[in-house]
Structure 1
Amino acid sequence: MRIGLLTEGGYPYATGEARLWCDRLVRGLDRHEFELYALSRSAEQERRGHVPLPPHVTRVTTAPLWAPYDDGRTYRRRTRKRFAGHFADLVAGVCTGRAEPFAEGLYGLAELAREEGGLYAALRSETAVRTLEAACRAPGAHRTAQRAQVPDLLAVADQLERALRPLSLAWYEDLARMDLCHAAAGGTAALPGLLAKRFCGVPLLVTEYGVQLRAHYLERAGEPPTPAVRALLAAFHGRLAAEIYRSADLLVPGNTHARRWQERCGAERAKLRTVYPGMEADRFATVGESTDLGDPLTLAWVGRIEPTKDVIGLLHAFAEVRRAEPAARLRLFAAPPRTAESVEYLAHCRALAAQLFPDEAADAVTVGESPVSFEEVGGPAAPQPADAYAAGRVVVLSSVVEGFPISLVEAMLCGRATVSTDVGAVCEVIGGTGLVVPPRNPRALADACLALLGDAERAARLGAAARARALELFTVEQNVEAYRALYLELISHARRRAGAGVDEVPFGLPPEACVPGRWTAGVPSWATVPGATAVDPAATARFPLTTAPQTDPQTDPATTVVLPAPGAGPAAAAHLAVAAVPEAVLAATVELPLAATPEAAL
């Protein structure tokens, strides 16, 4: 099977959230042929290049989204007029929230981009800004959009050009040869697959382990753009997500939390298949199978120190724990901060730890000398994640915003009891094998930690149950097998595609399509046998006909058998049965040609 894998900012580069699970998926499905189409978010990714790939990845194509692009193209007057009309429909759907004009404008711009070889200059032109302004001022537009000023319109137009840049890519001739397109994320990453589905009929599967629309809301919430910019961009991404969900053949959320987001945006339940991310259980097998359950008075926290993880709330909760259990310790294992905001937040956490525990050094070199320690994890000389989870008997997750909690699954694979806040998919992952408390509640977090620190037998039972649950639901093998089944399900229901430059799809014409019946109803097939005599026009007009093999030339070379096409119904068969058919034809042996079987296309 030929699969076009669409990514954004992750695989096949060395960094990115989707890199690990995409790499595991591609390597696990080595019997399929993959072509990678990646949208890069930064110049650094392109400079570093991609990670080593297995031999069944036959192509890697990259397109940048990280910088403005101008191809210097000029357009004819007719082209400019068509662009203005399609872009007006698109932004009208954004400003009013209506799906019909948005979809018409999106596909109209895609057709124009294919004809003209790109729309970079048009999307950054004054025409685009004026059209956006007219849509914001039109009756029926949202109140926030109506208050947009010129700087707001310029900022929105720039973001729309980057989001719509896949319309101008020369990928679609290659995607038309794929058996299916698999978008590793929603939003802009799925846009090439959406157009391949629209114009070439290629089946589309969309995976969202972190819903892109939700990520967009969270990302924009802390930025300085004005309310008008935020409202317009949120409306655009909302409409794009709804169109992707409507058009995709299958949607694969990574958990029920993401599934609820997709359903809220209009996804049909019949299209949804939940597949949990796969984790490498072997990395944590040594710790998980060990009889050593870690220091009974140590709490371990593993993650990235940033505001959404609420380490400040955890420190306040640990101060309550220390009042009840003076020998308790908290070890915070974190990767080096990436952004200036993370560096500032880490410094604030260190200062707070020193303030809450003034009699001890919060950043002591020896862990045993300090109730709170900040330690690096994952580096060359630093402890590995498995060692970090092994440090304590209880692992804590204190986030206020979370999607799928990967660190929580890793702690479960290590056989550790967990205390978590009720955010994102935490309850779905835990499933009763750990304690869950409300977020932003240090007192409740402290009570839950004390309950497990004071009951070693209970902590051991919860840890064993958590490891068993993680091995059943969250392994790489489970993830790969689920996608193997989804690919077969999708391709078995896909219609046979034919057209200029498009090869026949393997398994596109299953054997049961040759057997008349109600389950084979589909696209009418009109065909006759070479040397066939004329067929009754009335019957031809009412009932589609399909190819039948010729009879034995030695018996009657001028005779032709015409069979009703799949799905034509019993009326067609009855109509043809009353036609004059020689006895030699009725006695002839009918064999299905080998070319109609899937094996012939391999």
Structure 2
Amino acid sequence: MRICLIAEGSYPYVTGGVSSWIHSLMHAMPEHEFIIYAIAAERKQQGQFKYALPTNVIEVHEFFLDDHIYEEAKWGKRYHLTDVQRNSLISLVNGSNNVDWAALFQLIRSNQFTNVGEFLSSKDYYELVEHLAKTKYTHVPFTELFWTVSSMILPLFMLLRGDVPKADIYHAVSTGYAGVVGALAKIIYDKPLILTEHGIYSREREEEIIKANWVKGYFKDLWINYFYTLSHSIYSLADEIITLFGRNKEIQVELGCEPERIRIIPNGIDIHDYNQVVRTVKDDTIRIGAIVRLVPIKDIKMMIQAFALVEQQLSNVELFIMGPAEENEEYYEECLQLVQLLNIRNIKFTGMVNIKEYLGDMDFLLLSSISEGQPLAILEGFACSKPFISTNVGSCRELIEGRLDDHFGPAGFIVPVMHYEEMANYMVKLCLDEPLRLEMGKNGFNRVACDYTRQAFITSYKEIYRTLGAVM
């Protein structure tokens, strides 16, 4: 069977998290062929893969959201839009779930729609923005609205005009642009479509846009609603919608998913892969670790601020931040400046490493994210019997404290997002209490060994592929 995995901003350009999940899924299914449809922000990422691709990957189809800068515009064309097409375009930019995606796809991929830049210079597009200006944005400059909407839909339309590889099953690993490509493939080829949503994409974009300096305040809701609308495309068309834990399912239902179409399949890990992880250094130093990409959504600055407070109280502590920094070099530099400003002595930024070479010497681990799904980092830490202190995001509370029917006991502590003082207090508590660290580490190990196995995760997806493949 040939399966097209559609990923945005992750595999194969970024390590960890969703990328690790994709890599593990393909490795576990040598009986299938995989096509990677990879959506990335910038063409300079082309071919810059962070993974050695499994042998059953037969193609990597790359699309870059900045490619629209190369398209020339021709002015003055008039399109003859049907009412359905016009209303779908209005719904798209208006933040509505009433988009007729089949009609929109047909328009954008039709012969009359030969140049996206040409459409954005047409009378039809002008009238579209004019409608938006009169109905929702009466007090903002029309020119700003015109170019803001252009910057929103231009990369999307370029994406939709691109080639979609033929496959037996399409599997998007997020909503957003990846979800729209999945919906497009479903319409074009009438093949089964699966969505696995690790975190809630539209919520994550909302959090980023609220904090973003590049979006003016009065346009933030325009961008936020746009991403919610994109996400609804695959919610409405997917044959299978999968999430990782109960709270995510509740949010998906709030966003318009039919609850009976959603199933929960947790992430899984093989604890035996970590049998060789052992402590190699025996001294009085307490080593704290974080397996994390250095990007704003992981809120590394909170972690640094918390450690600064810990270092003021304890002299024998070190923090190892283990993960790549090149994804957002500006943010990495800001983190280094914060370390210097706070006069912190014992933080080590390791860059990309083999975490198995480090985990054995860690006493406990941290996660300070603003948003998460079901972090593989926590499962990896638990597989090595390491307790966690984490912000209350995604399924972190469920992983650390257990579900209602759980009998293993707490495997760490949960703190509110951005509350670095509370994180610091728990860090000091674990630093000073070795028996508690060992007990919580054991609880985490037992929980992951029972409830989050790689075998269960892979078996579930093999059955989904088999079932959907049988009805093609």
TM-score normalised according to structure 2 size: 0.84
The counterpart of 2:352, out of the listed 369, 378, 387, is 378
Give the 3-state SS of the residue equivalent to 1:273 in structure 2: strand
* Structure 1 position 245, deviation (Å): 0.6
2:116 maps to 120
Q: Which amino acid aligns with 2:35?
A: E
| Residue 290 of structure 2 is aligned to residue 298 of structure 1 | no
**Structure number with larger C-alpha Rg:** 1
Distance, in Å, in 2 between the alignment partners of 1:25 and 1:215 is: 24
Secondary structure at the counterpart of residue 5 of structure 2: strand
Local SS of the residue matching 1:5 = strand
How far off is 1:466 after superposition? 0.7
Shift in alpha-carbon separation, 1:461–1:293, aligned structure 2, 3 A: farther
Partner in structure 1 of residue 235 of structure 2: 245
Match in the other structure for 2:407:
none
Corresponding residue for residue 197 of structure 2:
208
Per-residue deviation, residues 180-202 of structure 1 (Å, max 9, x unmatched): 21112211112232123234432
Aligned match for 1:276, one of 257, 266, 272 = 266
The answer to whether 1:342 aligns with 2:331 is yes
Q: Distance in 2 between matches of 1:491 and 1:112?
A: 30
Deviations 1:524-550 (A, max 9, x none): xxxxxxxxxxxxxxxxxxxxxxxxxxx
Mapped contact 2:5–2:34 kept (Cα < 8 A): yes
Q: RCO (CA 8 Å, sep 6+): is it higher in 1 or 2?
A: 2
**Which residue number in structure 2 is paired with residue 357 of structure 1?**
none
2:26–2:34 Cα contact (<8 Å) kept: yes
**1:578-602: per-residue Cα shift (whole Å, max 9, x none)?**
xxxxxxxxxxxxxxxxxxxxxxxxx
Give the drift of 1:314: 4.3
Letter of the 2:131 partner, please give it: A
Q: Does 1:191 align with 2:211?
A: no
Cα gap change, 1:401 to 1:49, in 2 (>3 Å): closer
Asked if structure 1 preserves the Cα contact closer than 8 Å seen for 2:79 and 2:124, the reply is no
Secondary structure of 1:234 counterpart: helix
- Contact 1:187 1:240 (C-alpha < 8 Å) held by counterparts: yes
Within a 5 Å distance, the mapping from 1:42-61 to structure 2 comes to 42-48=42-48, 52-61=52-61
Cα distance in 2 for partners of 1:187, 1:58 equals 25
Per-residue CA deviations over 1:28-86 (Å, capped at 9, x if unaligned) read 11222333333343222324469554454344433332221666698997x81127x56
CA distance in 1, matches of 2:35, 2:293: 32
Provide the secondary structure at the position in 2 that maps to 1:80: coil
**Matched letter for residue 92 of structure 1:** I
The answer on whether the counterparts of 2:390 and 2:396 sit within 8 Å (CA) in structure 1 is yes
CA gap 1:423/1:88 in 2 versus in 1, 3 angstroms: same
1:153 aligned residue (141, 146, 158):
146
Alpha-carbon RMSD? 3.4
Does the residue aligned with 1:420 lie in a helix, a strand or coil?
strand
Cα distance in 1 for residues equivalent to 2:107 and 2:342: 59
Aligned-residue offset at 1:484: 0.8
Contact 1:405–1:426 (Cα < 8 Å) also in 2: yes
Output aligned runs, 1:506-545, within 5 Å: none
Q: Which residue of 2 aligns with 1:224?
A: 214
Amino acid at match of 1:202: K
Q: How many pairs does the alignment contain?
A: 460
Structure 2 partner of 1:451? 429
Distance of aligned partners of 1:92 and 1:52 in 2 relative to their CA distance in 1, 3 Å threshold:
same
CA distance in 1, matches of 2:154, 2:124: 10
User: Could you tell me whether the CA contact under 8 Å between 2:280 and 2:361 is conserved in 1?
Assistant: no
Provide closer, same or farther for how the CA distance between residues 69 and 107 of structure 1 changes in structure 2, counting only shifts above 3 A: farther
Q: Is 1:107 aligned with 2:102?
A: yes
Aligned letter for 1:332?
F
Instruction: Kindly report which structure 2 residues correspond to 1:112-511, keeping only aligned pairs within 5 A, or say none.
Output: 112-116=107-111, 118-127=114-123, 129-138=125-134, 141-142=135-136, 144=137, 147=140, 149-171=142-164, 174-175=165-166, 178-221=167-210, 222-279=212-269, 281=271, 284-287=274-277, 290=278, 298-302=286-290, 303-314=292-303, 317-318=306-307, 321=310, 326-335=314-323, 337-338=325-326, 339-354=328-343, 362-363=344-345, 372-379=346-353, 384-430=354-400, 431=402, 432-491=410-469, 494=471, 505=472
CA distance in 1, matches of 2:157, 2:447: 42
Could you tell me how far apart the structure 2 residues matched to 1:307 and 1:48 are?
Answer: 22
Q: TM-score w.r.t. structure 1 length?
A: 0.67
Q: Which residue in the other structure is 2:88 paired with? A: 90
Q: Partners of 2:237 and 2:341 in 1: how far apart?
A: 50
Q: Gapped runs of 5+ residues in structure 2?
A: 403-409
Q: Which residue of 1 aligns with 2:405?
A: none
Q: CA 1:132–1:73 in 2, change beyond 3 Å: closer, same or farther? A: closer
Secondary structure (helix, strand or coil) at the match of 1:251 reads: strand
Contact 2:92 / 2:229 at 8 angstroms: preserved in 1? Answer: yes
Q: Do the aligned partners of 2:206 and 2:224 also contact (CA within 8 Å) in 1?
A: yes
Aligned to 2:41: 41
Q: Which amino acid in structure 1 is aligned with residue 117 of structure 2?
A: A
- Distance change >3 Å, CA 38–CA 490, structure 1 → 2: same
